Amino acid sequence: MSSKMSRVSFLVNKKNRGPVLHSLGRLVVCRLFVVLFLVIQFEWTTIWAQEISSFLSAADIEKVDVYQNLQKQAYDSLDQRLIQLAGLKDQDAIGKYQENHRKQMIESLGGLPDPTPLHSRVVGVIDLKEYRIEKVIFDSRPRHRITANFYLPKVATAEAPVPGIAVSSGHSRTAKTAEYNQRFGAMFATHGMAALVFDPIGQGERSQILTADGEVAFSGTTTEHLLMGIGSILVGRSTATYRIWDGMRAIDYLVSRPEIQSDKVGYTGCSGGGTLTSYVMALDPRVKCAAPACYLTTFRRLIETIGPQDAEQNLFGQLINGLDQPDYVLMRAPSPTLISSTTEDFFDIDGSWINFRQAKQIYGRLGYSERVDLV
């Protein structure tokens, strides 16, 4: 039995409304994870299938196919969303759709906390010809540190501030110092923009689970995210809750710097960084321009291909609430957004084109079709 089952169940599971029931709903899902794990361990063998077919009809066998039934529920919810999308004919209807989806998304995260002091500090500097790299630490939450590299053009001053870009890392062990993230930072800085490239939870300098010798316990970065996600369910949150808040606090750090134009903030990231870019750009209006890379597709294509992915990429009850991946773009319309996708990625390119076409429609109805594109 595929491990996709538990993830689809997590997506389509109907959410209870009060805070206590909301957490209990997650407890039920967590127990489902355990049940599914036991089922996987014992395996449904061919012999079992032959035995069950001796006393169940084909229709009954179909009913007990859990993944197939969850898949159908997901498709039904996605079909209902398309009907709703077709009815968005004017600015007022689109505005209400955006507001409702932002509210539902935040509820599915278990809410977001109030900002606390950043307690930011620079602990080192690498001085280069056109820019410098500041080694920065700041607090996302009290005593919850974020480590980052801040690429600052030498032309940037308090008197002549420059745009600032937050860069989310993909699932690289080295995170902010991975080659592609260093390229992001260097290219932005040499083109006159500052870039804050920060470590996600469980990566770079921010591993949460260590051995007795102080070494990283898991070589795979998604393992730590998964374990955090399972524990978070019990308190009504998810890995995404913490990741999104980190991303928003990265913007707080950017705009706290006198060298940054606070009204010209951008956001980008690749793969897992594209996930976080999609979330933050949907929820934080300070993101004036966004470029999520190697992530955006549709949930239908995701389920049909590789299945739902890592813990932070599945929000509790999002499909039953009509939240599909294109909505991360639609929620920020008509703010400029560039979807970056590749044909050989994990995330299906056909879904990326569907995502883009839906966005183009809504942006067009708002009168700004040129502000969304796909490369």
Q: Is 250 exposed, middle or buried (0-12, 13-18, 19+ CB in 10 A)?
A: buried
Label residue 158 by pLDDT band (50, 70, 90): very high
pLDDT (mean) for 99-124: 96
Confidence check: pLDDT of 71 > 70? yes
- The rounded distance, in Å, linking the Cα atoms of 309 and 316 is 13
Q: What pLDDT digit, counting tens, does each position of 255-277 carry?
A: 999 999 999 999 999 999 999 99
Label residue 346 by pLDDT band (50, 70, 90): confident
Q: What pLDDT digit, counting tens, does each position of 24-46 carry?
A: 444 444 455 544 444 444 444 44
Report whether 329 contacts 339 (CB < 8 A): yes
- The rounded distance, in Å, linking the Cα atoms of 61 and 39 is 17
Domains of the chain as residue ranges with CATH: 4-86 (no CATH), 121-374 (3.40.50.1820)
Question: Which has the minimum average pLDDT: 50-59, 90-99, 266-275?
Answer: 50-59
Report whether 10 contacts 311 (CB < 8 A): no
How much is the pTM?
A: 0.84
Report whether 139 contacts 130 (CB < 8 A): no
User: CA 229: distance to chain centroid?
Assistant: 13
Question: Which has the minimum average pLDDT: 16-20, 217-221, 283-287?
Answer: 16-20
Q: What pLDDT digit, counting tens, does each position of 228-255 carry?
A: 888 888 888 889 999 999 999 999 999 9
